[in-house]
Amino acid sequence: MSINLFVATLIFLLIYPKAQAADSRPASLEEMQVLFDLATVGPTRMRVAADIVFIEPAWSKEELAAEIKKQNEVYPDLAALPEPEQRERTNAVSRSHSGTRVLHVQEWYSAARYRLDQTDEAVVPERYLKDHPGTYRNSYVNICDAALSPYSSFSADHHLHSAQLSKTKLYGKNDLWRALGLDAEVSFPLLVALADSKSGPRGRPPTDTDLSMLKLNRAKAELIHNNSHPVWHLEVLTEADQNSDTRFMLRGRTMSLLEPYEQADMQLVYEVRWAGQRFVCVEASLTNNTSHSTFSSRREDFDLRGFPRMWKRTTMKPGLPANHIDVTFKEIELNPALKDEDVFSPLFPTNYVVEDITSGQAVVLQRPQTTLKIVQPLARTTPVKRAIILASFVILSVVMALILVRLKGNKA
C-alpha cells in the first residue's frame, strides 16, 4: 500500500494511524547510525542542474502594489523609470508571485563556496528562453574565500551585462545537495536527539559544511534504544506486508524549523532503503503537534548511484494553503572538472558594468569598453607610415583648396 505524503490532510489520517497500528521495536544502534549518516550528509564538491517548480498562494493586487512601493522606496531610481519599463517591472513581479514559478537552475558547491546560475521564467520574456537555450540569465555567487577574492559575493545579469560585488552580502541557497541526504526540517530533530555536541565546531552552531564532522552520541543512542531517554523515542515500524524499506518513527520535543522560535512536540517518520550504491531516504514527514503544521518530502526514480531524479516537498500551516516545491534533476555531477577559481572568482568580460555595492551605494569598478580604439593598442608609427600620413594631409589640403576656389568661382 503506497501512501501519498504530499496530500497534507492524509499525513495524519494515513501515516500516523498506520504507524500506530503496525508492530514496532526499538531501533538498533546500527540502524540509528544509518539514519544519522543520512542526516549528516554535507555539500561535497558537486554540480547540480535541475528545474524547480514552486507552487504557492498567488499574491493579491494589494500585495503586489505593496511590493512595488517597497522597491521604489529602497531603489528610488526604479520609480523614475519610463512608463513602459514600469509596466514591465510590475508584470514581472506579478508573474513571480502568480502561484506557480518555474526556475531553471545550476548549482555549484565546494566547501563553503556556492554558485547559483538561474533563469526565472517569471522574469524573462518567453522569447528569451527560445533565443538562449542551455544558458542562464543570472548568477549569484557566495565566494567565501579570501584567496579567491576580497569580496564575499557577487551577482551578475548576463543579459544586461552587469555585475555587483559585495564584501558583506551573502545569497540564499536552494540546497539541492540535500536530495542526497535528509531535508533540514526532518534532520534537525534527529541531530538534536542523536548528535554528540562535542563533535561539532566549538563556540558556534554547525553549518552545512560542518555536518560531516558530527558524530553519533553512543550514550544517548543507548538510552533511546533502551527506551529510557526522557525526551526522545525512536522505533522501527514493522508490518506483515513490509517490503525492503525500513520505516523509523522518532518522537520528542525540540525547536522546529517550521516554527523556529518555539519548543514543539513532534513526530517524524523516515522510510529508508538501499538504492544503487547507498542508503537513501525515500519518504520523510514531520508533524508538529504543537502548532499543527506539517512537512513532507519524497524522492523518486533513483539512478544506479542512488541519486533521485525527482524530489517533492510540501509544507502546510494552519489557515494557509500548502506550499509545494517540485524538483526535477537533469544532472548531478560529483567533483566537476572545472577549477574553483573558474567557477567562483569574480571575473567578468570587458563589456560588463561592474559595481561595488558594499556601502549600499554602487561604486563603478569597470565600465564597458565601447570602441575598438579603447580595446586595441595603438600601432607604432614607422618612418614609412609617417611619410604616408604627411602625404595624405598634403593631398587633403590641395583638394580642399580646389573646392574653395571652385565655390568662389560659382558665386562670382
The two counts, helices (H) then strands (E), for the chain are 12, 16
pLDDT over 80 at 10, yes or no: no
- Would you say residue 339 lies in a domain? no
| Last residue within a domain, chosen from 261, 293, 325 | 293
Model pLDDT, residue 241: 57
Model pLDDT, residue 81: 74
Model pLDDT, residue 261: 72
| Mean confidence (pLDDT) of the chain | 82
pLDDT over 90 at 164, yes or no: yes
Between CA 169 and CA 144 the distance in angstroms is 10
- Would you say residue 112 lies in a domain? no
* CA pseudo-torsion sign 363, 369, 374, 376: positive
- Would you say residue 336 lies in a domain? no
| Contact of 368 with 355, CB cutoff 8 Å | no
Domain that holds residue 398: 381-412
| Last residue within a domain, chosen from 235, 260, 293 | 293
Which residue has cell 536552494? 174
- Would you say residue 223 lies in a domain? yes
Model pLDDT, residue 240: 54
Supply the angle between the helices 184-194 and 29-39 in degrees, to the nearest 10: 130
Between CA 247 and CA 143 the distance in angstroms is 39
For 69, 90, 103, 197, the CA distances from 99, given in Å and listed in that order, are: 21, 16, 13, 41
157 pLDDT band (50/70/90 cuts)? very high
- Would you say residue 128 lies in a domain? no
Task: Give the chain's domain count.
Answer: 2
Between CA 70 and CA 163 the distance in angstroms is 23
Which residue has cell 534504544? 225
| Last residue within a domain, chosen from 262, 293, 324 | 293
Between CA 397 and CA 151 the distance in angstroms is 56
For 35, 120, 329, the CA distances from 308, given in Å and listed in that order, are: 18, 23, 7
| Contact of 344 with 359, CB cutoff 8 Å | no
- Would you say residue 238 lies in a domain? yes
Between CA 179 and CA 325 the distance in angstroms is 13
